[in-house]
Chains A and B, each alone.
Chain A
């Protein structure tokens, strides 16, 4: 389906949705119905919402519009689910010494690049978590990261990351950007931060980004303020969150945290070498309107990249540029195939694994948060 093409028929859209209906039914339920009513209702709501969005992706030919609705909801529900889990288990979202030294800190994908050099040289992971068998165990997150990299490359950042929906959401609030994008070389900042935190972490044998720079600590867990050091850490987390997750996305209409700060995003750009999908631009169809350049949330389309017919290596494969292009010149592409290859076939081949990844990654979290909300409304208690 190219731009301006009529929507896919209801019947054909439904037929193409059938595999996703079956797979998500199994993956979201784990093969059995939850025992209690709030969880059953949460399962039904999550299943319906995800499959409605997938159906609409097929019917309308738009990718980002429906992805974003789920992805932003996922980020909000993740915070509710994660923080309530911490409060339920620990009584607080503060990270105590007891929790850290007992290996009870949930591991997140952003730590991965910082752990690799110490892991290679010392065979140890510099994180106060647990390797296997617990909530957000380290090896489990590595497995998810490897799977995401092989299937989607940096598409992880638009279809899997539980934080990215926050700045994605804020970047859509205003109708027009108040700030035009940063000057060119600012887009290299995440690579500089990546280099800095990798070296810093290897030298200190501690995850430097988590200790000092992660904006999402402000809405997940952090060390209680008890001296100047912890006060500086808390101030850093909070100010980076406000600047990169709220204010800059609002003003620039771009995913500022993902484009200008996140070292994992920079690291994950390399995974765009190994997955089978890419975003390409058909130079013959392109009318140089630059809508895609203006809409790209991570500055991954530039005049130079348009001239080369491709998005930059930092592309998140969110589909925003594909949706925006009035001529259907920007499209998903299967690597290795020629210009004559079917664009809608390539898009379908991409959105099945990408959507399945999002549904599976987000489904459990969304169900947990929705069940807690239902319980809150019906009993006045979250858990």
Chain B
């Protein structure tokens, strides 16, 4: 038994070099395999959530993402919806958008694409305010905070 343990120990130790080599030489395929196998994605709190719909305004497009209320086990009381406009070159000086988040609220948003100043109007009671306004992937993005309807 002691001899077997010794052999196993040395074999395990000798495998450490191949493990290190595989870690670095196989990093790209192993990374892709890990991402695929786990199905992990970036949390919607950072990615903004899945795309719900796109509105084509001719020169530019508005992307509306799903409302994100995701918590660890269920939904949180507060969440947000992310609205994006692109491409930046085709955006008018001020974009205006009526946004309806099914079952979560509605609002009208205007964004000055030269200064990044945004304003909410005609908001339903579930809409709490703007939390993020930033240039984003060749366009602009805003996050509007929402609360669950009471």
Chain A interface residues (CB < 8 Å from chain B): 23, 27, 96-98, 100-103, 117-119, 121-132, 137-140, 142-144, 146-148, 150-152, 202-203, 205-206, 275-277, 334-338, 341, 346, 349-350, 352-353, 356-357, 360-361
Contacts and interface: CB of A to CB of B under 8 A. Distances in A.
A346 B15 CA distance: 13
A121 B17 contact: no
Contact of A124 (B40, B134, B136): B40
A144 B118 CA distance: 42
Contacts of B2: 338
Nearest to B2: A338
A27 B22 CA distance: 12
A337 B20 contact: no
Contacts of A103: 42, 46-47
In terms of DSSP, what is the predominant structure of the interface of chain A? helix
B70 interface: yes
B38 A205 contact: no
B75 to A, nearest CB: 12
Interface in B103-137: 132, 134-137
Contacts of A129: 42
Assign chain B's interface to a size class: 35 or more
B54 interface: no
B12 A335 contact: yes
B107 to A, nearest CB: 20
Given A126-B43, A205-B71, A143 B31 contact: yes
B5 interface: yes
A51 B41 CA distance: 40
B52 interface: no
Nearest to A103: B42
A130 B41 CA distance: 8
Nearest to A355: B20
A197 B72 CA distance: 15
Nearest to A332: B13
Nearest to B47: A103
A371 B63 CA distance: 42
B141 A151 contact: no
A131 B40 contact: yes
Contacts of A97: 132, 134
B99 interface: no
Given A102-B136, A124-B43, A335-B9, A132 B72 contact: no
A126 B44 CA distance: 8
A139 B132 contact: no
Contact of A137 (B31, B41, B70): B31
A119 B38 contact: yes
Contact of B134 (A101, A202, A349): A101
